[in-house]
Amino acid sequence: MNREYSYGRPANAAPKGTGRVSRPAARRGVPGKGWIVKLFVGQGYGFIRLADDRVVYFHRADVQEGTSINDFGVGDAVTFELLDDPVSGARGLYVRRHHSR
C-alpha cells in the first residue's frame, strides 16, 4: 500500500473548495465609553473602565487607525466598540480619545 501524499491528501485527490480566498468579516462591537485605568505602553496593551465599573482589555492593534497607543494616558476618556467574546472575554476595538463637544 504505497500511496503518495501531498500536504495531507493523496496526490491524485481532487482539490477542495473553489480556490477563492475570502476575507474574514470585520469584527464589530457595540459603542462604548470609558476611561483608561491601566496602560502598559511597552507591552502594547491597557485596560478601560466602563461606567458600570467593568474593566475591558485593549491591545495596540485595537487602537483606531491613525492613532498610537503612545497618544493615550491613564485617566483619558475614550470611545470604542465593545466586543464581548465568549472565549477571550470583553475587548475594546477601534479605541480612540473621546472629544467632548
Residue 96, all three cell numbers: 480612540
Q: What is the pLDDT of residue 7?
A: 57
- The rounded distance, in Å, linking the Cα atoms of 15 and 6 is 11
Mean pLDDT by 10 residues, the chain (101 residues): 56 60 68 96 95 94 90 95 90 88 53
Q: Residue 38: which residues within 8 A CB-CB, separation 6 or more?
A: 46, 47, 74
pTM score: 0.69
- The rounded distance, in Å, linking the Cα atoms of 18 and 42 is 43
Q: What is the pLDDT of residue 18?
A: 59
Q: Name the strand (E) or helix (H) holding 78.
A: strand 77-85
How many C-beta neighbours within 10 Å does residue 37 have? 13
Q: What is the pLDDT of residue 98?
A: 84
Q: What is the pLDDT of residue 47?
A: 97
Residue with cell 466586543: 83
Q: What is the pLDDT of residue 86?
A: 86
To which CATH superfamily is domain 28-97 assigned?
A: Nucleic acid-binding proteins (2.40.50.140)
